[in-house]
Amino acid sequence: MSDNLPTFKKGDMVEGYRIMSEIGRGAASIIYLVQDPKNKQVWALKHVAKTNPKSQRFMDQAEIEYKIASQLDHDSIRKIPKMIKTGSILKSTGLILVMELVDGISLHEEKPELLDELVDVFRQTASALAQMHDRGFVHADMKPHNVIVGRSLGGKLSAKLIDLGQSCKSGTIKKRIQGTPDYIAPEQVHRREITPKTDMYNFGATMYWVLSGKNIPTAMGTSQDSLMGSRDDALIERPIPISEILPDIPERLCDLIMHCVEVDPDKRPGSMDDVTNKLDLILGIVRADAVEANKTS
């Protein structure tokens, strides 16, 4: 669909920003690297155009992303300071999001090699989700693709949570199934309330895949035959304990992951703050073990 979108060229001025290059495309959007000529600051500019009735959904998601992001201020959540609607009051032709430029690679494409760095990325991501939950929102599409990992000049890794297009207020019941099949929670498939426990399941499935390279069974398989999933949560196959796949991973981390992916939301951890605190503890243990190993090597 993005092939039919109007495009901008290098040097074009769009709503006061100079186009530097195209850096990505979505189903109904193009993302550009842009610069504000006034202060030379560089941003990512997402242009969503209304080319047909179906593209209205993508415009709605972009507007949701802006409205929720504007109410968050966590260092590990991409900032979106401005939304500009294009066209006229009577006829909207699209919208533009001015977004923080996030320089890095998604966890889906590449993961940190050192366990302490990986646990730190998990901890930062959990902390970002905790702020969303504290402010009444759920990400609702937590997956490795939506965590961008970068490295500062000092070498420290930083995680950025992106893509709030499916985010919603806690307690929302969506009109249709939304989520990514390999990470989706049972309540998303069955169109029950979306709550912080939903993000917890998605996050647990994300950690499971990042560590093991394997997806957990979910209520919605990847085949068309299982699109609606089973209405009986008891029939969802339990994932293999990650400790059986990776016996060298700390027991506390394995237990936390399996706790997050409990089918019954009431059996998952109490809050994402609890998950963050446990990851903080695990990170301390992993780092202490690494120091001790260096002493004896």
DSSP string, 96-107: EEEE----SEET
Edge to edge, the sheet with strand 92-99 lists: 13-14, 17-25, 29-35, 42-49, 92-99, 82-87
Is the Cβ–Cβ distance between 83 and 97 less than 8 Å?
Answer: yes
What tokens appear for 152 in the block?
């500062």
Instruction: Determine the average pLDDT of the residues in 234-262.
Output: 93
Is 0.85 surpassed by the pTM of this model?
Answer: yes
Q: Which CATH architecture has domain 13-99?
A: 2-Layer Sandwich (3.30)
Q: Encode burial over 186-220: b for 16+ CB neighbours within 10 A, e otherwise.
A: bbbbbeeebbbbbbbbbbbbbbbbbbbeeebebbb
Q: Which CATH architecture has domain 105-288?
A: Orthogonal Bundle (1.10)
Domain map of the chain by residue range? 13-99, 105-288
pLDDT at res. 232: 62
pLDDT at res. 51: 80
For 1-57, write each residue's pLDDT tens digit.
455 778 899 999 999 999 999 999 887 899 999 999 999 999 999 999 888 877 888
pLDDT at res. 227: 43
Instruction: Tell whether the model's pLDDT for residue 223 goes beyond 90.
Output: no
Which residues are 24's β-sheet partners? 31
| 221 — pLDDT class (breaks 50, 70, 90) | low
Of 18-27, 119-128, 270-279, give the lowest mean pLDDT range: 18-27
Instruction: Tell whether the model's pLDDT for residue 197 goes beyond 90.
Output: yes
